[in-house]
C-alpha cells in the first residue's frame, strides 16, 4: 500500500510498557500499524481513542512519534512451501529458507462454532491409558 493512502498520526496520548494510545478515526480492530518504526496492532477502540499493542515494547517512543496505520489485519502467505519450515510470530522464516510464496490470508479469521462442527467419529488409541482415558483423541 502506498504511503500516500495510509493513515498517519503524530500525537500519542498515552504510553505504557507494551501499549500506546492515539486519537484516530476509520481504524479497525486487529489492524496493523507501525509506531516509531515498530510493528503494532490495534487491540481496543473507544470512540476515537485507539489502543495499540507494540510488539517490541514502547521504551523510548516519544509522544510525538509517527503512528502509521497499514489498513489491514495480520496476514500470512500459505501454500506447500510452508511444510517443514520454521517461522517467527510475524510469519517471517527463521530457518534460513526463502520467503514463501502463495495466497495471502488473514491470520485469526472467524472461528468455527463448535456446535456446528461435525461430530468426531473414530477414536485414536495411543496405547497410553492416561491419554486414552483422560484426553481422548478422535478423527472426523
pLDDT in tens, 60-86: 999 999 999 999 888 888 888 888 999
CATH number for position 19: 2.40.30.20
On whether both 79 and 21 belong to a single domain, the answer is no
The pTM score is 0.70
Residues 6+ apart with CB under 8 A from 26: 7
With 0-12 / 13-18 / 19 or more C-beta atoms within 10 angstroms meaning exposed / middle / buried, residue 24 is buried
For residue range 49-61, list pLDDT tens digits in order: 999 999 999 999 9
Residue 126 lies in a domain: no
On whether both 44 and 85 belong to a single domain, the answer is no
Residues 6+ apart with CB under 8 A from 88: 94
Residue 7 lies in a domain: yes
On whether both 85 and 62 belong to a single domain, the answer is no
* Domain that includes residue 83, residue range: 74-110
Amino acid at each position: 500500500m502506498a504511503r500516500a493512502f495510509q493513515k498517519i498520526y503524530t500525537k500519542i496520548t498515552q504510553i505504557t510498557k507494551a501499549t500506546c494510545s492515539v486519537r484516530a478515526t476509520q481504524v479497525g480492530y486487529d489492524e496493523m500499524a507501525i509506531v516509531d518504526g515498530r510493528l503494532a496492532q490495534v487491540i481496543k477502540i473507544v470512540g476515537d481513542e485507539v489502543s495499540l499493542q507494540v510488539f517490541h515494547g514502547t521504551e523510548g517512543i516519544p509522544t510525538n512519534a509517527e503512528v502509521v496505520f497499514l489498513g489491514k489485519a495480520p496476514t500470512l502467505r500459505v501454500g506447500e512451501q510452508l511444510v517443514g519450515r520454521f517461522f517467527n510470530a510475524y510469519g517471517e522464516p527463521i530457518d534460513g529458507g526463502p520467503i514463501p510464496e502463495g495466497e495471502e490470508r488473514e491470520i485469526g479469521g472467524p472461528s468455527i462454532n463448535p456446535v456446528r462442527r461435525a461430530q468426531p467419529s473414530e477414536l485414536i488409541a495411543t496405547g497410553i491409558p492416561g491419554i486414552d482415558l483422560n484426553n481422548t483423541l478422535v478423527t472426523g
